Amino acid sequence: MAAAANRLGVYVVYLGAVPPRTSPNILQQTHLRLIGAVLKRGQPVESVVVQQYKYAFSGFAARLSAAEAAALRRKPGVVSVFADPVYHLHTTRSWDFLQQQTTAAVDVKTGGSAHRRRRSPRARAAAASASTSSSPTADTIIGLLDSGVWPESPSFDDAGFGPVPARWKGVCMAGDDFNSSSCNRKLIGARYYDVGGEAKRQSARSSGSSPRDEAGHGTHTSSTAAGNAVTGASYYGLAAGTAKGGGAPGSAILAGFDDAVADGVDVISVSLGASPYFRPDFSDDPIAIGSFHAVAKGIMVVCSAGNAGPDAATVVNAAPWILTVAASTIDRYFQSDVVLGGNNTAVKGGAINFSNLNKSPKYPLITGESAKSSSVSDTESASHCEPGTLDASKIKGKIVLCHHSRNSDTPKTEKVGELKSAGAVGAVLVDDLEKAVATAYIDFPVTEITSNAAADIHKYISSTRYYT
């Protein structure tokens, strides 16, 4: 117990709104005195501070023991104290599919030249800003909390743009492979935040101390929000280090909100969030805290709802002061059709596999129900290809049609493994539940179809003596 109480970690201490007529310098000293009141390790107080929040709200992040964090929690004026969480960039399953979880090289050609550098294992956070039109009314500044920005992207070309909005108070921070000259009248500012602790250990995809985006996510979301195809908006991006799947520490997210408010943005866009299975109270949620104070200052905050659907209760960033945005479809489809041999009709399906199944030969097709083992009485289990329900001699060398549902006892990948072991040459899975990116089966021919498509296959089977 004592060892756990003394183990160090990064904690966020939230103190609420900035008191009236309190300067940032006074707040900083207040924070240091508060830490000093509980710090008993003989360290300089400044050495444990990770972030300080002093513009939009009051608080700090510091490397503390559990006992010190508990002591701070009991101090007057402290709203909440919580361990620094790691939130994830909202992407689809591309990174998992590509299995890119560590160092990789990035090439981006701009104007005939190529920018190439290695991703570093160090964590960081970044910020940037831009403007999109020379029109005097087109002066909206969009702040984006994400993995950074790639300034050479044509989306941030400032040709034809007027001056930077006069109310802009931000900076263009130089960093690794990112100069202050990387900003222009479109990309009007940039910041980054070095981070530590658990977030640093998880940040395998980060690019070091720089606003430069080498994960690609920040550049994608920022160019969507304020790219050159959109008129009347500027861009100010903020990022916080990226791990596999895009991890960003909450302490840096809060710093991004705090600086965005002070720098004069009009809109803050956030495409990251907590896991839908981890729902902190608003007072312990960096995005809820930062967005609350931004909205109180008249800044609209727009957040993604997450990519964990379509199941119920999977939306994140749902605080009532946030405009939470969701997509009902995804912008890609991995087509894997079933071609019926009798009439060469293609039944639309989807899955990811790199099978060596030739297009020209025809393979016998059999349903799980027809391949039921004589020792099994449960026809429905056989139609769902549950392990142990099929006769291996009946499915060997054939493509097997199997149903799958939420109530199925066995994961789809396990069913496919059983079919492969029994000598099947492929599988067609009937699944109305899978609405996201197609499942990856890699080296075994599998496709997933809807029940409506399955009805066409069953009709074909019932009308044909030899079906392939």
Say what the pLDDT of residue 230 is: 42
Token pair 């705090």: residue: 258
Q: For residue range 239-254, what is the model confidence (pLDDT) as tens digits?
A: 343 333 446 789 999 9
Please give the structure tokens belonging to residue 462. 């019932």
What residue ranges do the domains of the chain occupy? Answer: 2-83, 87-325, 338-463
pLDDT band at 232 (very low <50, low <70, confident <90, very high): very low
- State residue 247's pLDDT score: 65
**Per-residue confidence (pLDDT) for residue 194, from 0 to 100:** 67
User: What's the mean per-residue pLDDT of the chain?
Assistant: 77
The tokens describing 208, both together, are 């070091």
Of how many residues is the chain composed?
468
Rg of the chain on CA atoms, in Å: 27
pLDDT given at position 27 = 97
Preceding amide of 310 cis, omega within 30: yes
| The CATH classification of domain 338-463, taken from the options 3.40.190.10, 3.10.310.10, 3.40.1530.20, 3.50.30.30 | 3.50.30.30
Ranges assigned E (strand) in 66-164: 80-83, 86-89, 105-110, 113-118, 126-129, 141-146
Look at 105 and 163; give whichever has higher pLDDT. 163
Mean pLDDT, range 399-426, rounded to an integer: 88
Residue 410 pLDDT more than 90? no
CA angle 458, 430, 437 (to 5 degrees): 145
Question: Given the DSSP bridges, would you call strands 234-239 and 141-146 parallel, antiparallel or unpaired?
Answer: parallel
Q: How many whole angstroms separate alpha carbon 27 and alpha carbon 59?
A: 9
Cβ 322 vs Cβ 291: under 8 Å: yes
List phi, psi (to 5°) of 369.
-60, -40
The per-residue pLDDT for 172 is: 87
Confidence of residue 191 (pLDDT cuts 50, 70, 90): confident
pLDDT for residue 30 is more than 90: yes
Distance CA 66, CA 72 (A): 10
pTM exceeds 0.85, yes or no? no
The model's confidence at residue 1, banded by pLDDT at 50, 70 and 90, is low
Residue 49 pLDDT greater than 90, yes or no: yes
Confidence of residue 300 (pLDDT cuts 50, 70, 90): very high
CATH match of 87-325 with 3.40.50.1360: no
Q: Identify the pLDDT of residue 359.
A: 61
Residue bearing tokens 């709200």: 57
Structure tokens at 44: 């300089």
pLDDT at position 66 over 90: yes
CA–CA separation, 286 and 85 (whole Å): 8
| Alpha-carbon distances of 175 from 202, 252, 446, rounded to whole Å | 21, 17, 47
- 345: confidence class by pLDDT, cuts 50, 70, 90: confident
pLDDT at 242: 34
Phi and psi, residue 251, nearest 5°: -60, -40
User: Using CA atoms, how far apart are residues 228 and 186, in angstroms rounded to an integer?
Assistant: 9
Identity of the residue numbered 98: L
Residues 308-313 have a mean pLDDT of 76
In the CATH hierarchy, which top-level class contains the domain 2-83? alpha beta
- What is the rounded CA–CA span in Å between residue 195 and residue 395? 55
Q: Mean of the pLDDT values across residues 112-129?
A: 37
Q: Could you give the CA distance from residue 292 to residue 296 in angstroms, rounded to a whole number?
A: 6
- Give the pLDDT score at 389: 93
Among 86, 287, 304, which residue's Cα sits nearest to residue 196? 86
pLDDT at 91: 64
Count the Cβ atoms, other than its own, within 10 Å of residue 361. 9
User: Is the predicted pLDDT of residue 10 greater than 60, yes or no?
Assistant: yes
Top-confidence residue, 91 or 419: 419
Q: How many CB atoms neighbour CB 328 within 10 A?
A: 7
pLDDT cut 70: percent of the chain above it: 71
pLDDT at 213 over 70: no
